[in-house]
Amino acid sequence: MLLVGGLVGTLWPSFAEANRGGNWFDDAAAMNSSGAPSIRINLSEQKAYFYKGGRLVGSSFISSGKKGFRTGTGKFRVLAKRPNHRSSIYGSYVDRNSGRVVRADVDTRKHRRPAGTYYRGAKMNHYIRFNGGIGLHASGHVPRYPASHGCVRMPPHMARKFYQYSRVGMPVTVTY
C-alpha cells in the first residue's frame, strides 16, 4: 500500500497526512528506493516513520515512555539489533518448580528476587537499540499514548518491518 502521494519532497509529513489511515509499510518502495534508511519518531503524534533516501515508506503508531520514564529526544544511530531480545531490567519473577509468575512488573534494580524464583525479562522482539538501552520493539500493548519504561513500543507486524529494513548505524531522530 502506497500512501505517499503528497509527501514527496518533505522529510516530515503534515499532521493530517501522518494520521491518515493506520499502520502501513510499502515493501516495494523500501526495497527499490535509493538512498539511506532512517527512522523518525514523533512523540507528540505517538508515531514512527521509516524513510528510505528521504522517501516515506512506512508509518506506525507507537507508545513511548510514560511520566518518569520519558523517551529522550535527539539524534541517534542504531546501535544494535536483536530479533528475540528480553529486558535485563523489567520483567517477572517466576517460580522455578511450577513456572507460575510470582511477581509481575518487576524492576530488578528495586525488587529483590524471592527464593525459589528466577527472573524472566519482558519480551522485546525485533529490538532496534538506538539510545543506551532504549530502542524500538514489538509489544502486544501499544495504546498510542506514553506507557512504556522509555522504549518505543510498536505493534508486532510493524516492528518486524522496521527491523527488517533497518541497519546498524542508520539515523534515528526523536522529536516532539
Query: Catalytic residues, which ones?
Result: 137, 151
Grid coordinates in use for 138? 514489538
Q: Is 170 helix (H, G, I), strand (E, B) or coil?
A: coil
Separation of alpha carbons 156 and 128, rounded Å: 13
- Could you tell me if 22 and 46 are in contact, meaning their C-beta atoms sit under 8 angstroms apart? no
Question: H or E segment at 154?
Answer: strand 152-154
- Could you tell me if 26 and 46 are in contact, meaning their C-beta atoms sit under 8 angstroms apart? no
Write the DSSP string, 28-65. Answer: HHHHH--S-EEEEEETTTTEEEEEETTEEEEEEE-B-B
Sort 69 into a burial class: Cβ within 10 Å, 0-12 / 13-18 / 19+: middle
